[in-house]
Amino acid sequence: MRRRRGGKPAWYAPAAIAVDAVGAAGPVYAVFRLFGEAHAVWYATVVAVAWVLVRASHTRYAWRALGERGRVRPLLRDGMVLLGLLTMVRAATDEDSPSHLVPSALIMCLAVAATWQALTHRHLLARRRDGRGVRRALVIGETSALNGLVNRLSRRTDHEFVVVGVCPIGDGAPNLIAPVAARLAQRLPAHLSDDSEPVLAAVRGLEVDLVFVVSGPTMAAERLRRLSWAVHEDGCPLVIVPGLTEVVQRRVTVSTLAGLTTLHVTPPARGAAVLVKGALDRVGAAVLLVLFAPVFAVVAIAVRLDSPGAVLHRQIRVGHQGRHFTLAKFRTMVADAEQLKQELAKTNEHDGLMFKMRRDPRTTRVGRVLRRYSLDELPQLVNVLQGHMSLVGPRPPLPEEVAQYNEVELRRLCVKPGLTGLWQVSGRSDLSWDETVALDLHYVDNWSPVVDLNILSRTLRAVVEGNGAY
């Protein structure tokens, strides 16, 4: 049976090659012409061909990679390889143009490639939300684990799979509950095991592109091995889901030990990465305090004129490892807001430990504007400078919230709280409590300096759109 390639448009590959070639040649030609260098066309052609070859050698044009979320690190690695190749060509040909011209042009080349990756990824996501560009998947596993995987796949649209059938298993053979009318009509090999027959019938009857197997006590070792034989005989890929959740790929290494396939999971970033994060936090906060000084003055005057009370509102919050600190924000509510909170407790619109109201009567007119654009949080840059907070991290909780945390929720305190974070750029108060905790735990387990830079770049868009800001 012919397997589909994910339903991606056929123009992805040639368009990616063309964009990379033009994105490399254009800046090089423009820079060399600007500085009056001869042979600008020749230089541009060499760089374009080299850039496409570097990208192709790293499988950037492979069908599985096209349109998927682009990462900064592989792109930078490709750029460094290209720079090395051009340096060797320059040395071998005794080329005498100024050495800074090509690196200057390569910055634009990388920017073009990154922009194209982002646009293509958005286009592919839009297709998948419409039910196009997807691959049909069959899920096999114990009922409880199977339901968890199916629910996770169905809730999110940033992947390429749609579940078209499930096979719950127990001590006996898989019980096919997918609607496969053609199963009995299939001519299946006679040597199939009890497991393989219904699974292979579903693969053929539903025209499945891939089989997910959720590992567990009743689906392991020899049983799983025999099932993979049958599925692979039919040319269908098989993916084993080990039950490891919210761990990014860079932390996982696959190896073989005594004939067993093992997954090595490295600890979250520590050591030098923590020192780099702390240095960037302090330097970034100091620079932003200077840049936003005029904004501080305007906001302070507006808060003072709008309603009686202090300009800054101070609260005790819980930080890294449960340490308490005083957080400062521009006041967005009436002076007696804390006392009124008790009266409004029954009107809380949030399903978790946080108190949130979309139309909180305590919020002032200026306060609504400040919250809409997150300007009320600017004084927290002082907390970052003091080391109580980070530029990126989970939301800083109140002591009364932490007092109700369970063991899982307490893990949010394993890193410093942040001025921004995954919660802030993913919907803020529109998210449920479980979604908020899941995002924070994902950050705690997988943060890195690159992840922080990505969240900071997304923060501006989140602030402008204002989704969930109330």
Reading the chain (470 residues) residue by residue, the pLDDT tens digits are: 444 555 688 899 999 999 999 999 998 888 888 877 777 888 889 889 999 999 999 999 988 888 887 677 788 888 889 888 888 877 776 666 666 677 777 888 888 998 898 889 888 888 887 777 788 899 888 877 777 788 888 777 777 888 888 888 765 555 554 444 344 334 444 444 556 777 888 888 888 888 998 877 777 777 788 888 888 877 888 888 887 777 888 888 888 877 778 888 888 877 888 888 999 999 999 999 999 999 999 999 999 998 888 899 899 999 999 999 999 999 988 876 666 666 665 665 555 566 666 677 788 888 888 888 889 999 999 999 999 999 999 989 999 889 999 988 999 999 999 999 988 787 666 677 777 888 899 899 988 888 888 888 888 877 766 554 54
What's residue 193's pLDDT? 52
* Structure-block tokens of residue 179: 């609607």
**Structure-block tokens of residue 36:** 């009056």
DSSP state of 394: S
d(C-alpha 381, C-alpha 379), whole Å = 5
Cβ(31)–Cβ(97) under 8 Å?
no
Supply φ then ψ for residue 136, to 5 degrees. -85, 130
pLDDT of res. 180: 43
Contact yes or no for 331/304 (Cβ under 8 A): no
Structure tokens at 307: 């309603």
Measured from the Cβ of residue 42, the count of other Cβ atoms closer than 10 Å reads 12
Q: What's the pLDDT score for residue 178?
A: 45
Q: What is the pLDDT of residue 388?
A: 95
Q: Which pLDDT score is estimated for 389? A: 95
**Residues 6 or more apart whose Cβ sits within 8 Å of residue 459:** 420, 424, 425
According to the model, what pLDDT value does residue 342 have?
Answer: 64
Cβ-contact 325, 388 below 8 angstroms: yes
Tokens 């989704």, located at residue:
467
Instruction: Find, among 149, 157, 208, the residue nearest to 178 by Cα.
Output: 208
Which pLDDT score, from 0 to 100, does residue 470 have? 47
- Name the nearest CA neighbour of 322 among 388, 392, 390: 388
CA dist 304 and 310 (Å) reads 7
- Contact 156/246 with Cβ under 8 angstroms? no
Give first-to-last CA distance, the chain, whole Å: 53
Q: How many Cα neighbours within 13 Å face the side chain of 266?
A: 13
In this structure, are strands 210-214 and 324-330 parallel, antiparallel, or unpaired?
unpaired
Angle in degrees, CA 150, 154, 158, rounded to 5? 120
User: Tokens 């008790």 correspond to what residue?
Assistant: 342
Q: What is the per-residue burial (b if ≥16 Cβ within 10 Å, else e) of 300-309?
A: eebbeebeeb
Query: Is the CB of residue 20 less than 8 Å from the CB of residue 50?
Result: no
Degrees, nearest 5: CA angle 9-13-19? 115
Query: Pick from 337, 394, 334, 336: which is nearest to 364 by CA?
Result: 334
Contacts by residues 48-52 (CB-CB < 8 Å, ≥ 24 positions apart): 48/20, 48/21, 48/22, 48/24, 49/21, 50/24, 50/82, 50/85, 50/86, 50/89, 51/20, 51/21, 51/23, 51/24, 51/78, 51/82, 51/109, 52/17, 52/20, 52/21, 52/24
Q: What is residue 53's predicted lDDT score, i.e. its pLDDT?
A: 93
- R_g of the chain, CA atoms, integer Å: 28
Residue entry with tokens 């080299």 = 50
Write the burial class of residue 253 (CB in 10 Å: 0-12 exposed, 13-18 middle, 19+ buried): exposed
152 phi, psi to nearest 5 deg: -65, -45
Q: Which residue has the tokens 């600007």?
A: 34
DSSP 8-state code for residue 354:
S
Is the overall model pTM greater than 0.75, yes or no?
no
